Copies of this chain bind each other. A is one copy, B any other.
Amino acid sequence: MGWEQDIGEADRMWRTYIEMAKHLGSHLQQHLQRECDLSAADFEVLVRLTESERREMPVAEVAAATQWEKSRLSHQLTRMAQRGLVERVDADDRRYPDVRLTDKGRAAIDKAVPEHTELVHALFIDVLGPERMAGFAQACADVLRALDEHRERDCSL
């Protein structure tokens, strides 16, 4: 029935996945960099900020959305602020400043998102088609669940 395929087979498939992930990631990243002068990190932060009504949110909220380390986010925001994509805003409690999308940042993300989306469709979504896509996503979700369980086990040691 195919359940007894040898190790080498599964290994090759794993490598195929690794190859795909690497190439797809770097291709999307290079596109963003070349066409929009944005790194993948820039893009992610900007996307999160546009998901807020006010184009502004507490740093902690961005951290939660991106699941980044606080220090990584802080460095990233510093660099983005230097380039004028975002600005830091002191909130009521001055320990927890907000981040706000600047006009320049808004322009950048408005240009980047459609191009990025189009590329994702051309290279991934349209290639798979809806049915395989659903199977693929289900597989990803299962792996994510396995990861969570694994992490729980690790923590409980």
Contacts and interface: CB of A to CB of B under 8 A. Distances in A.
Interface of A: 2-3, 5, 9-10, 12-14, 16-17, 19-21, 23-25, 27, 120-125, 127-137, 139-144, 146-147, 150-151
A139 B140 contact: no
Interface of A is mostly: helix
Number of copies: 2
A82 B12 CA distance: 32
B123 A146 contact: yes
24 contacts: A2-B131, A9-B130, A10-B133, A12-B137, A13-B133, A13-B140, A14-B120, A17-B124, A17-B136, A17-B137, A20-B143, A21-B21, A21-B25, A23-B147, A24-B147, A27-B147, A122-B146, A123-B143, A123-B150, A124-B146, A128-B139, A128-B143, A135-B136, A136-B139
A24 B143 contact: yes
